[in-house]
Chain A
Amino acid sequence: MSILIKNARIIDPSQKIDSKGSIYIEKGEIISCGGASKKKADTVIDAGGKIAAPGFIDMHAHLREPGREDQETIRSGLRAAVAGGFTTVCAMPNTDPPCDSQAHVKFLLEKAREAKMADLLPVGTITRRREGKEISEMGELKASGAPALSDDGSSVEDAELMRRAMEYASMLDLLIISHCEDKALAGKGVMREGYWSTVLGLEPIPAEAESTVVERDARLAELAGARLHIAHVSTEQSVDIIRAAKKRGVKITAEATPHHFSLHDRDLRTFDTNMKVNPPLGTEKDVKAVRQGLRDGTIDVIATDHAPHLESEKEKEFDYAPFGMIGFETALSLAVMNLVDSGILDWGQLIGKLTANPAAILKAGKGTLKEGSPADVVIIDPGKEWTYDKKQIRSASSNSPFVGKKMKASVTHVIRGGRPVYRNGQLV
């Protein structure tokens, strides 16, 4: 099948393109990108000046299957991802059972194939059963299709183990994605320590619970010569550490979630459990630093940390509710409203954080509209105003503090592997 997208503003940071033109797709590949096209195609999409970009890549999402299919399944998750413009999703391995074997990786890939929506990249665990005691069979995980490993949900507490895990992974050129959290310092905390945790009387988590582990992992990665990616950076301290490590030449990259550049600790005044996240929402200084980190390249990637939870699990006293919020369907809008509109990033830089940068870090041949690449394309209406209606949510869960809120910028079309999967508000 062939598709012609015409009259688009093509933004492809991987090729440093931002210009008007058309994209011709055939047999799942990008045949041509840019300039006018007179080619005949089975499907013609007139972008009408809207933005055409590579399909987004989410480096951090929780699809809950196997184990908590009531919260989300691979199918419902990948459908929600597409509705948000994501054509590739990295599935985090803190499922039940955790993804630490080739059998598990193959299960995920098979489920994703059946869903026929976004592509799934399985992230394996760093340690066997995600228990933090022994390294997992990394060679096998890589061979079956995992580009990265993470014990996300926890840090690897044993520093010696983390060192050896990094050394072994680097031998296989596997990326280590680290969730940095010192559980002892975090204690029973539920929000970031500062003026607002004091006013609200909620148990605090100091920034040092994150930053001390970022520092540790950066030093260990330096020692091991490993590639390290810091998950969900949320503090000024962490941004400073990553910036310094990059300066020293450490192979370190970082991501930030939309909620960590859009919301603040003071937003917890309503005790809305949908804003209870780990790591917690930052202080004013933290959010400023995260935004600045995105601006100056210290933070390479925007990733959602999409974390579905049931309404019944979240409708509780703040202390008792689980951590996490969904994010696929609001990521683009939050980025536009909080980063592009305020001049922190221009459109090219934003799209880079969602495409070229994650692709480079994962060493996946995606996130680009270069001729010959898989045809993963998203068309964006940058000015479209819409309301995040609970009934329209594609995820099986609806735990988002943005439900009912006005959003700006939406995805109008998504093509994955040369096949249209989303068109004008409907999944295909």
Chain B
Amino acid sequence: MKKGSVKWTRKDLLGIEELSPEEIRMVLEAAAKFREVLTRSIPKVPTLRGRTIANLFCEPSTRTRSSFELAAKRLSADTLSIAASSSSFLKGETLKDTARNIEAMKVDMIIMRHTCAGAPHFLSRCVDASVVNAGDGAHEHPTQALLDVFTLEETIGKLKGAKVSIIGDISHSRVARSNIWALTKLGAEVTVCGPKTLLPAEIEKMGVRVTTDITEAVKGADALNVLRIQLERQNRNLFPSIREYVRYYGINTELLGKYARKKIVIMHPGPINRGVELSQDVADSEFSVVLDQVTNGVAIRMAVLFLLLSKGKQSGE
């Protein structure tokens, strides 16, 4: 960690786009320290004792929500979880009112996942508490990208010049967007691949190579980040059938055997549609670092909570 020169000054984490490479590094370095904490017999530090962190999830989630909750608890913070489906949202309470009511209970941070892009930005204008974006529509999922680059760097050693291909429904993917920012800021070469109907306009201007040919995306790649295909998109004429999608974009051992580098790394943000974007074999293979991603996710989120709530203090106990 650079001594004294770079300080974390943000109170919110809304996306990767606005982060500098140095800020990303700060998170990764803090995460490495916190991952060590997770291996102890008492995997807890008192860093955020007395702070209260609220999870406001307006969209279903297994991984992200549990991961944030655990991260907060490991830092000794008090946690509060609100699921939209069982809250006053159903009574028509607005996001603004919900957030301010939560804040009125003296909460220090709100972690929100929402179906709408820009919801955390709106939230940060409504409350003084710190806001963490746990996924806003198709816009960004910053902690996912951070844990992805953390895992990748650990596995292949160096991100600068690394070739990473992101495969799947890029148009609707916040994971893709956040990863593109994080990877390009750290010097990796990114390729996005999917059917043309699932590639958004002018995405090459984000600094990525674009292809609709899966073999091109796999050839020469150090890692594949395979996105979940949302089966309900089929109804909107974005692709004709799951069968065809699997045939042309599914990652299986045959495809990897023919085109992939020997030590290719397979990543997936989860949840996996087994037999669709990843074959059963590939999902459970030695190439897959999916479970490492999950473990690292807790450490990354501890790093984020720590940095946001203790701005300026550099050392993590």
Chain A residues near B (Cβ < 8 Å) = 193-195, 197-204, 270-271, 312, 315-320
Residue in A199, A203, A270 whose Cβ sees the most chain B Cβ within 10 Å: A199
Out of A195, A271, A315, A316, which one reaches B117, CB within 8 Å?
Answer: A271
Whether B116 and A204, one on each chain, are in contact in the complex, defined by CB atoms closer than 8 angstroms, is no
Per the bound structure, the CA–CA distance linking A155 and B115 in Å amounts to 29
- Residues from chain B with a CB closer than 8 A to the CB of A318 are 116-119, 122
Whether B17 and A271, one on each chain, are in contact in the complex, defined by CB atoms closer than 8 angstroms, is no
Whether A320 and B116, one on each chain, are in contact in the complex, defined by CB atoms closer than 8 angstroms, is yes
Per the bound structure, the CA–CA distance linking A312 and B206 in Å amounts to 35
- Residues B113-135 near A (CB distance < 8 A): 114-119, 121-122
Judge whether B94 is part of the interface by a CB distance below 8 angstroms.
Answer: yes
Whether B95 and A199, one on each chain, are in contact in the complex, defined by CB atoms closer than 8 angstroms, is no
- Having A200-B118, A204-B200, A312-B94, one finds 6 other A-B pairs with CB under 8 Å, namely A195-B205, A198-B205, A200-B139, A271-B122, A318-B118, A318-B119
Chain B residues near A (Cβ < 8 Å) = 17, 94-96, 114-119, 121-122, 136-140, 174, 177, 200-203, 205-206
User: Can you pick out 10 interface pairs between chain A and chain B where the beta carbons lie within 8 Å of each other?
Assistant: A193-B201, A198-B205, A199-B177, A201-B177, A202-B137, A202-B139, A204-B201, A271-B118, A315-B94, A317-B116
Per the bound structure, the CA–CA distance linking A316 and B93 in Å amounts to 11
Whether B201 and A317, one on each chain, are in contact in the complex, defined by CB atoms closer than 8 angstroms, is no
With A197-B200, A199-B17, A201-B137 known as contacts, the answer to whether A317 contacts B122 (CB < 8 A) is yes
Per the bound structure, the CA–CA distance linking A319 and B119 in Å amounts to 9
Residue in A194, A315, A317 whose Cβ sees the most chain B Cβ within 10 Å: A317
Out of B95, B115, B117, B205, which one reaches A202, CB within 8 Å?
Answer: B117
Whether B203 and A201, one on each chain, are in contact in the complex, defined by CB atoms closer than 8 angstroms, is no
With A204-B200, A318-B122, A319-B137 known as contacts, the answer to whether A198 contacts B206 (CB < 8 A) is yes
Whether B139 and A201, one on each chain, are in contact in the complex, defined by CB atoms closer than 8 angstroms, is yes
B23 vs chain A, min Cβ distance (A)? 18
Out of B96, B140, B201, B206, which one reaches A315, CB within 8 Å?
Answer: B96
With A198-B200, A198-B203 known as contacts, the answer to whether A317 contacts B114 (CB < 8 A) is yes
Residue in B117, B121, B177 whose Cβ sees the most chain A Cβ within 10 Å: B117
B193 vs chain A, min Cβ distance (A)? 16
Out of A198, A199, A270, A319, which one reaches B116, CB within 8 Å?
Answer: A319
Whether B201 and A194, one on each chain, are in contact in the complex, defined by CB atoms closer than 8 angstroms, is yes
Query: Can you name the residue of chain A whose Cβ is closest to the Cβ of B176?
Result: A201
- Residues from chain B with a CB closer than 8 A to the CB of A320 are 116
Whether A316 and B94, one on each chain, are in contact in the complex, defined by CB atoms closer than 8 angstroms, is yes
With A197-B200, A202-B139 known as contacts, the answer to whether A317 contacts B119 (CB < 8 A) is yes
- Residues from chain B with a CB closer than 8 A to the CB of A203 are 138
- Residues from chain B with a CB closer than 8 A to the CB of A199 are 17, 177, 206
Out of B174, B201, B205, which one reaches A201, CB within 8 Å?
Answer: B174
Per the bound structure, the CA–CA distance linking A319 and B177 in Å amounts to 19
Per the bound structure, the CA–CA distance linking A24 and B119 in Å amounts to 56
B14 vs chain A, min Cβ distance (A)? 10
A356 vs chain B, min Cβ distance (A)? 39
Out of A198, A270, A312, A319, which one reaches B121, CB within 8 Å?
Answer: A270
Whether A202 and B118, one on each chain, are in contact in the complex, defined by CB atoms closer than 8 angstroms, is yes
Query: Can you name the residue of chain B whose Cβ is closest to the Cβ of A196?
Result: B202
Per the bound structure, the CA–CA distance linking A316 and B205 in Å amounts to 30
Per the bound structure, the CA–CA distance linking A396 and B70 in Å amounts to 48
Please name the 4 residue pairs, one residue from A and one from B, whose CB atoms are nearest each other, closest first. Answer: A271-B118, A201-B139, A201-B138, A317-B116
- Residues from chain B with a CB closer than 8 A to the CB of A204 are 200-201
Query: Can you name the residue of chain B whose Cβ is closest to the Cβ of A204?
Result: B201
Out of A193, A312, A315, A317, which one reaches B118, CB within 8 Å?
Answer: A317
Per the bound structure, the CA–CA distance linking A201 and B116 in Å amounts to 9
Per the bound structure, the CA–CA distance linking A199 and B204 in Å amounts to 11
- Residues from chain A with a CB closer than 8 A to the CB of B96 are 315-316
- Residues from chain B with a CB closer than 8 A to the CB of A194 are 201-202
- Residues from chain A with a CB closer than 8 A to the CB of B136 are 201
B166 vs chain A, min Cβ distance (A)? 14
- Residues from chain B with a CB closer than 8 A to the CB of A198 are 200-203, 205-206
Per the bound structure, the CA–CA distance linking A197 and B138 in Å amounts to 10
Per the bound structure, the CA–CA distance linking A201 and B175 in Å amounts to 11
Whether B122 and A201, one on each chain, are in contact in the complex, defined by CB atoms closer than 8 angstroms, is no
- Residues from chain A with a CB closer than 8 A to the CB of B119 are 317-318
Whether B177 and A316, one on each chain, are in contact in the complex, defined by CB atoms closer than 8 angstroms, is no
- Residues from chain B with a CB closer than 8 A to the CB of A271 are 117-118, 121-122
Whether B121 and A201, one on each chain, are in contact in the complex, defined by CB atoms closer than 8 angstroms, is no
Per the bound structure, the CA–CA distance linking A204 and B114 in Å amounts to 18
- Residues from chain A with a CB closer than 8 A to the CB of B177 are 199, 201
- Residues from chain A with a CB closer than 8 A to the CB of B115 are 319
Per the bound structure, the CA–CA distance linking A203 and B206 in Å amounts to 17
Per the bound structure, the CA–CA distance linking A270 and B203 in Å amounts to 20
Query: Can you name the residue of chain B whose Cβ is closest to the Cβ of A318?
Result: B118
Whether B116 and A195, one on each chain, are in contact in the complex, defined by CB atoms closer than 8 angstroms, is no
Per the bound structure, the CA–CA distance linking A312 and B96 in Å amounts to 10
Whether A201 and B202, one on each chain, are in contact in the complex, defined by CB atoms closer than 8 angstroms, is no
Whether A195 and B118, one on each chain, are in contact in the complex, defined by CB atoms closer than 8 angstroms, is no
Whether B203 and A319, one on each chain, are in contact in the complex, defined by CB atoms closer than 8 angstroms, is no
Per the bound structure, the CA–CA distance linking A315 and B98 in Å amounts to 13
Query: Can you name the residue of chain A whose Cβ is closest to the Cβ of B14?
Result: A271
- Residues from chain B with a CB closer than 8 A to the CB of A317 are 95, 114, 116, 118-119, 122
- Residues from chain B with a CB closer than 8 A to the CB of A316 are 94-96, 122
A279 vs chain B, min Cβ distance (A)? 16
- Residues from chain B with a CB closer than 8 A to the CB of A197 are 200-201
